[in-house]
Amino acid sequence: MTSARIPKLEPSALDDDQRSLYDAIAGGRRAQGPQLFQLADSQGRLEGPFNAFLLQPRLGSALQALGSSVRYDTALDDRCREIAILVVAAHWRSDFEWYAHEAVARSVGLDDRELAAIQEGRHSALTGREAVVARTVAALVTRGDLDDAQYREAVSQVGTAGVFELLTLVGYYATLALQLRVFRVPAPDDTARPAAEPPA
């Protein structure tokens, strides 16, 4: 990836709307508890997609709120949620998404074998509900749809509301991946392993 196309915005240079959003990100739910990935660098500048949110604070605030809900307010269990996010990150080869959510996934118990399987698109290496979530999200990111059998399988494992949550999660993290790609945003200090291209 070439160098970032937008500079990190300095906290001291933010206007009132930007500062309000900055505080919501840096001091919100993502910042509570153990810091599994960097929200800000050593100078307090936001990392990853959050810096770009500051470019348009009203839209950035809406995205920040949606992201918080997707992470913390769904009925998906932690492992299934992180598997779904990592399938999106692997599909888009999004270094920052992989960096951040690999750390979260490890904290909820995913191991090297499971992470490698997700990164390489070998979703059959997962089992039960987790395999169904991975296959469902893979279908969504590759085809943008579920056939009748895939839909029934997803509903049988996560329910209709859970399918809605997965659709929303995929859309949100695909949006972030697109922003990260176009703005050429790297993971902090080249910490991420580039996500492998899943097999067709």
3-state SS assignment for residue 45: coil
**What DSSP character marks residue 55?**
T
Q: Which of 2, 185, 147, 127 is CA-nearest to residue 136?
A: 147
User: Which residue, chain included where needed, has tokens 């509903």?
Assistant: 155
For 40, phi and psi rounded to 5 degrees?
Answer: -140, 155
Q: Which of 179, 166, 168 is CA-nearest to residue 46?
A: 179
Q: Give pTM, 2 decimals.
A: 0.89
For 99, phi and psi rounded to 5 degrees?
Answer: -55, -50
> What's residue 198's pLDDT?
44
Query: What digits encode the pLDDT tens for the residues 46-70?
Result: 999 999 999 999 999 999 999 999 9
Query: What digits encode the pLDDT tens for the residues 102-111?
Result: 999 999 999 9
Can you name the residues that pair with 46 across neighbouring β-strands?
40
Q: How confident is the model at residue 28 (pLDDT cuts 50, 70, 90)?
A: confident
Could you tell me how far CA 106 lies from the centroid of its own chain?
A: 14
Can you name the residues that pair with 40 across neighbouring β-strands?
46
Query: What digits encode the pLDDT tens for the residues 120-170?
Result: 999 999 999 999 999 999 999 999 999 999 999 999 999 999 999 999 999
